[in-house]
Amino acid sequence: MSHDAKPKPVPVPVGEVVGQSVPKPDAREKVTGRALYTDDLVLPGMLHGALLGSPHPHARILAYDTSRAKALPGVRAVLTAEDLPPVDIGPVIKDQPLLARGKVRYAGEPVAAVAAVDLPTARRALELIDIRYEVLPAALDVDAALRPDAPVIHAPRGEGHPNVATHIRLVEGEPDKVWARCDAIIEDVYETPAQQHVYLEPCTTLAAVDPDTGRITIHTSTQTAFRVQAITAEALAVPMSRIRVQVPRVGGAFGGKVESTNQPITVALAKAAGAPVRLTFSRTDDMRMMRSRHGARIYMRTGATRDGRILARQVRIHYDTGAYADDGPFVAAIGSYFSRGPYRIPHVDVECWSVYTNKLRAGAFRGFGNPQVHFASEIQVDRLAEALGMDPIELRLRNALETGEKWLGGAPVESGTLRACLEKAREVSDWHRRRERPSTTSPGKRRGLGIAAVGHVSALLGSSATVRLNEDGTVNVSTGAVDTGQGSDTALAQVAAGALGLSLEQINFSRPDTDTSPYDWCTGGTRTTFTVGHVITEACEQVREQLFEHASAILERPVKQLELRPGGVVGVRGEPGLSTTFGAISGYALYVAGGPIIASSRWLFPAWQLDTRRTKVEGLPSMGNGFFVFAAQVAEVEVDEVTGKVDVLEAWCVHDVGRALNPAAAAGQVQGGFVQGLGYALTEELVWKDGHLVNPSMSGYKVPGALDVPVAIHPVLLERAFGPGPFGAKGVAEVGVVGAAPAIINAIRHATGARLNQIPATGERVLRALLAHEAPATKDG
């Protein structure tokens, strides 16, 4: 929304559809296995693709010999970088070739691609490709990469260390001068892991090239049909007009499918082979070749006065972006932007580096840089409360940003509901009782309760929608938005139904297809329901105007006396008997006057420009987002003193969702976010040894299963409707993951006194922290 314009009053939906927990229409086909995903699709003559990964984390490519692979019967195409246009792609820094060119920068990086009549043949062909490498020294972590004599991973792009992809500095107030006024100062270093998305459906693409026209059709698992179209066009030097992208069902994405995955290389294989090619990664290839959340090391120092006013904070963030920048610069921007937390801290000094290393690239992942800094901030705030002898919720309440206050950088908080979230969390979790008298448990186990406050953003960038009235009065809604499984198709259909007073049966919500859908940027950034929902309500409003114009003629009443009635009816206010149906109006428009009823709406979420009079800003790339949303998450844990293993017993997640369009779907997002955060907190971590991933499998890398999560994750949806989202809805998708880890770590501290500044809090780390905590006591005793 424009920050100057007065906020419009939040519109009220017509009928009962908005706010109902209607089941997702695709639920049954998914449960029964009928849903069609990309890997289920088959085209005549289709070949199977596979990629060869680099055996070295850093090496020069000296020579290729693909002759043996090409000679294998059944092989139709073998590609290396020599067969591709010399184009590098990347959303911020153009540093990524489709296949390694000149050198490889991480173990597993695709170096060659094969298309063959079946997958076993394709995989055998990969083994027959000979590549000679000259192994180079590798920079395997941020420290190694920042040494003055570190191996240089990419050609330097200017000043500074060549392995620094992004450097950001944000300073407000005079932090150096106020430390002396602080009564308590906490200072620590926090570490977070490279978590992986582990979407159920590995990345997959089916590409076909029309032999006559050269037109390319892509079916793929993605978060964005339009960015796939644009990136493929860029990578293969083909105009976008020659590319069509369609998106079948998507089995989860979580940010891992925001940028291109294997679409461009699959198209290149289809072109080279002259036949359709489907390339579906194995789980292990997906884990070795795609991307992860940024591992981070965060130095943070926070000071407060005796009465609990946080005065100053200094933050130094190092994000490990791996071998390619990908979305790393934006992640660094969000991380910097959120490192003050949802608090009013007048004096802040933030510096952030995104650093290249010879590891898997890190990119977008639910929370986008924010879970890392919230982890540091929310643990530090708890320690500050301890030092001040204050209740952790009380300290957070004293510093919570309120409506009208400014975020770091000066953007206004439009709907400051953190206070309401914290107070509700305190109530529903029975905070004081559980904190003061943790429930008893079996011998060798201890229980504790912890909280995290959460601030995040929803909505960004551009969306459009077309709404068209059918002859019978039902409605087609086209948006280009991808439902990645989170349920946006359902919620957005409910938005259209609520805007026009229709039932869901009267709405056809079309699936994304770049040939026919209006543009949508991406299902990411907690934006789809908010931003696409906004353009749907705007288009529906135009349709309503057209309906009323015709209804006025049909009913012989002025437009201002007309009203929408549930079920696709336009009536006259105060005259219950006088009405006409959408079907009748549509017929009138189609055959008597005016022409088809149709409307489009478009919107670019207005980016907040940082206020450089207030904030000293260096190196922050544009972000273009900013409707702030708030939550509070409470976790109760049980810590096993014998092994260090932590079980989460119960959780309370209070989220201000503005308006719950579909409460069950919103609750699902809240619970799913918490579970993903639980994995981040306790078990999930990519581990490398000598530059090679040691756990690229579901066996080695553990996401929590059904038996590892609490039965009771209580989603509590506050509905403080406000802003330009549909009917005042705010985003919820990413928010649930942001505070889970610090809430759990704070609960471990409460249960045992053990201090953990690193996740995942594996049994080993927790046991060592427990022993370290108990060691001085033993000495004294």
Partner 1 sequence: MRYAEPETVEEGLALLSTHDDARCLAGGASLVSRMNAGQVAPAMLVSLHRIDELATTTESAEGLWLGAMSIHRAVATEARLRGAMEVVRSAASQLAHPAIRNMATLGGSLCLADPKTELPAALVAASARVEVAGPAGRRSLPVEQLLVGAFQTSLGKGELLTRVFLPRGLGGAVGHHLRFSRVSADYPTVSVSLVLAMDGETCSHARVVLGSCGPVPLHVDAADAVLVGSRLEARDVAEAGRLLVQASAPLDDVRGSAEYRRMLIPRLLGRALSQARELAHV
Binding residues for partner 1, rule: CB under 8 A, are 123, 284, 444, 642-643, 645, 683, 687, 694-695, 699-702, 704-705, 707-708, 762-764, 767
Mapping DSSP to helix (H, G, I), strand (E, B) and coil, where does residue 327 land? coil
Q: Is 440 exposed, middle or buried (0-12, 13-18, 19+ CB in 10 A)?
A: exposed
The whole-angstrom separation of Cα 599 and Cα 601 is: 7
In the bound state with partner 1, the residue whose beta carbon lies nearer, of 652 and 701, is: 701
Least separation, in Å, of the C-beta of 697 and partner 1?
A: 9
In the bound state with partner 1, the residue whose beta carbon lies nearer, of 127 and 515, is: 127
| DSSP string covering 271-290 | HHHTS-EEEE--HHHHHHHS
In the bound state with partner 1, the residue whose beta carbon lies nearer, of 583 and 763, is: 763
Least separation, in Å, of the C-beta of 269 and partner 1?
A: 21
Least separation, in Å, of the C-beta of 80 and partner 1?
A: 22
HEC secondary structure over 218-236: EEECCCCHHHHHHHHHHHH
In the bound state with partner 1, the residue whose beta carbon lies nearer, of 166 and 695, is: 695
Least separation, in Å, of the C-beta of 687 and partner 1?
A: 6
Structure tokens that stand for 568 in this block: 């696709």
The set of residues, in sequence order, having a beta carbon less than 8 Å from that of 465 and lying 6+ positions away, is 477, 478, 479, 518, 532, 535, 536, 538, 539, 600, 601
The whole-angstrom separation of Cα 452 and Cα 216 is: 48
Least separation, in Å, of the C-beta of 72 and partner 1?
A: 16
In the bound state with partner 1, the residue whose beta carbon lies nearer, of 137 and 444, is: 444
Structure tokens that stand for 452 in this block: 């995290």
Residue pair 737/614 in contact (Cβ under 8 Å)? The answer is no
Nearest C-alpha neighbor of 258 from the set 71, 439, 395, 90: 90
The whole-angstrom separation of Cα 535 and Cα 547 is: 18
In the bound state with partner 1, the residue whose beta carbon lies nearer, of 558 and 700, is: 700
Report the side by side order of strands in the sheet with 507-509. 507-509, 475-478, 462-469, 598-604
Residue in the block written with tokens 């009917």 = 727
Least separation, in Å, of the C-beta of 660 and partner 1?
A: 31
Least separation, in Å, of the C-beta of 69 and partner 1?
A: 16
How many C-beta atoms surround the C-beta of residue 633 within 10 A? 34
In the bound state with partner 1, the residue whose beta carbon lies nearer, of 615 and 752, is: 752
In the bound state with partner 1, the residue whose beta carbon lies nearer, of 316 and 773, is: 773
Nearest C-alpha neighbor of 126 from the set 134, 135, 116: 116
Pairing of strands 277-280, 204-209: antiparallel
Residue pair 223/258 in contact (Cβ under 8 Å)? The answer is yes
DSSP alpha helices (H): ranges in 486-532? 488-500
Mapping DSSP to helix (H, G, I), strand (E, B) and coil, where does residue 122 land? helix
Least separation, in Å, of the C-beta of 688 and partner 1?
A: 11
Least separation, in Å, of the C-beta of 282 and partner 1?
A: 8
Least separation, in Å, of the C-beta of 764 and partner 1?
A: 4
The whole-angstrom separation of Cα 347 and Cα 240 is: 47
Least separation, in Å, of the C-beta of 119 and partner 1?
A: 11
Least separation, in Å, of the C-beta of 620 and partner 1?
A: 37
In the bound state with partner 1, the residue whose beta carbon lies nearer, of 593 and 642, is: 642
In the bound state with partner 1, the residue whose beta carbon lies nearer, of 425 and 693, is: 693
* Partners of 134 in the β-ladder: 60
The whole-angstrom separation of Cα 631 and Cα 526 is: 14
Q: Is 631 exposed, middle or buried (0-12, 13-18, 19+ CB in 10 A)?
A: buried
Least separation, in Å, of the C-beta of 463 and partner 1?
A: 39
Q: Is 44 exposed, middle or buried (0-12, 13-18, 19+ CB in 10 A)?
A: exposed
In the bound state with partner 1, the residue whose beta carbon lies nearer, of 54 and 464, is: 54
The set of residues, in sequence order, having a beta carbon less than 8 Å from that of 127 and lying 6+ positions away, is none
Least separation, in Å, of the C-beta of 766 and partner 1?
A: 11
In the bound state with partner 1, the residue whose beta carbon lies nearer, of 429 and 752, is: 752
The whole-angstrom separation of Cα 99 and Cα 265 is: 8
Instruction: Calculate Rg over the CA atoms of the chain.
Output: 27
Least separation, in Å, of the C-beta of 693 and partner 1?
A: 10
Residue in the block written with tokens 């696709």 = 568
The whole-angstrom separation of Cα 647 and Cα 445 is: 10
Least separation, in Å, of the C-beta of 486 and partner 1?
A: 24
Task: DSSP letter for 439, please.
Answer: P
The set of residues, in sequence order, having a beta carbon less than 8 Å from that of 257 and lying 6+ positions away, is 199, 203, 221, 222, 223, 224, 250, 484
The whole-angstrom separation of Cα 9 and Cα 410 is: 24
In the bound state with partner 1, the residue whose beta carbon lies nearer, of 410 and 763, is: 763
How many C-beta atoms surround the C-beta of residue 434 within 10 A? 18
With the C-alpha atoms ordered 209, 210, 215, 220, is the resulting torsion angle positive or negative? negative
The whole-angstrom separation of Cα 677 and Cα 685 is: 12
Nearest C-alpha neighbor of 451 from the set 426, 424, 430: 426
Residue pair 348/171 in contact (Cβ under 8 Å)? The answer is yes
Least separation, in Å, of the C-beta of 702 and partner 1?
A: 5
Least separation, in Å, of the C-beta of 143 and partner 1?
A: 21
Mapping DSSP to helix (H, G, I), strand (E, B) and coil, where does residue 510 land? coil
In the bound state with partner 1, the residue whose beta carbon lies nearer, of 123 and 419, is: 123
The whole-angstrom separation of Cα 119 and Cα 222 is: 22
In the bound state with partner 1, the residue whose beta carbon lies nearer, of 462 and 763, is: 763
Nearest C-alpha neighbor of 201 from the set 182, 224, 226, 222: 222
Angle CA 516–517–523, to nearest 5: 150
In the bound state with partner 1, the residue whose beta carbon lies nearer, of 571 and 679, is: 679
In the bound state with partner 1, the residue whose beta carbon lies nearer, of 567 and 763, is: 763
In the bound state with partner 1, the residue whose beta carbon lies nearer, of 156 and 444, is: 444
